[in-house]
Amino acid sequence: MRHSIRFVMAGLVILAAAFPAAAQENSGSLAGAELAQKWCSDCHLVGRGQSHSNDAVPSFAAIAAAPATTAMSLHAFLLTPHGPMPDLKLSREQIDDVVAYILSLRQR
Ligand code: HEC
């Protein structure tokens, strides 16, 4: 898939740029936000700018707000495909990014 290769490359560039910085969590959630927009927003409400998605699918804000949600539970969940998601294989880094993004939506 042409698209995913380009996206992985972009992710790697972002990661490489972020690596020396101490503030890795922020850049992770930024890359995660892009990833979520691209791969997850067909089904999930992934951010504040989006007005509708599929009603049967929990929004990322709702997922973040659930007490049972932790970085660990999200990692475990995302290691296996879910929903009708053909061909979506997230790398470890992509999972880290998108988990950081989802958790960044948690109200503090
Ligand atoms: C084709 C539709 C679809 C796509 C695309 C999709 N999801 Fe989902 N997702 C679902 C559905 C449906 C559920 C609820 C049912 C389930 O748990 O399988 C769900 C549930 C989840 C949950 C668990 C919610 C909970 O209750 O803890 C997480 C986390 C999640 N999705 C993350 C993602 C991420 C990250 C992406 C993008 C990389 C993504 N999803 C893309 C359909 C989708």
Q: Is the CB of 39 under 6 A from ligand 1?
A: yes
pLDDT score of 17 more than 80:
no
Domains of the chain and CATH, by start: 2-104 (1.10.760)
Q: Which atom from ligand 1 is nearest to the alpha carbon of 69?
A: 27
The pTM (predicted TM-score) of the whole model is 0.75
Q: Which residue has the higher pLDDT, 43 or 50?
A: 43
Q: Which residue has the higher pLDDT, 53 or 96?
A: 96
What's the gap in Å between 14 CA and the centre of ligand 1? 24
What's the gap in Å between 22 CA and the centre of ligand 1? 30
Q: Which residue has the higher pLDDT, 51 or 93?
A: 93
Q: Are 71 and 102 in contact (CB under 8 A)?
A: no
Q: Which residue has the higher pLDDT, 85 or 37?
A: 37
Instruction: From 55, 63, 56, 52, select the one nearest 102 (Cα to Cα).
Output: 63
Q: Is the CB of 82 under 6 A from ligand 1?
A: yes
Q: Are 61 and 105 in contact (CB under 8 A)?
A: yes
The CA-based diameter of the chain, rounded to the nearest angstrom, is 40
**pLDDT tier, 39 (very low <50, low <70, confident <90, very high otherwise):** confident
Please state, for a pLDDT cut of 90, what percent of the chain lies above it.
Answer: 38
**pLDDT tier, 98 (very low <50, low <70, confident <90, very high otherwise):** very high
Q: Is the CB of 100 under 6 A from ligand 1?
A: no
pLDDT score of 108 more than 70:
no
Q: Are 71 and 99 in contact (CB under 8 A)?
A: yes
d(CA 82, CA 27): 26
Q: Is the CB of 43 under 6 A from ligand 1?
A: yes
Q: Are 68 and 23 in contact (CB under 8 A)?
A: no
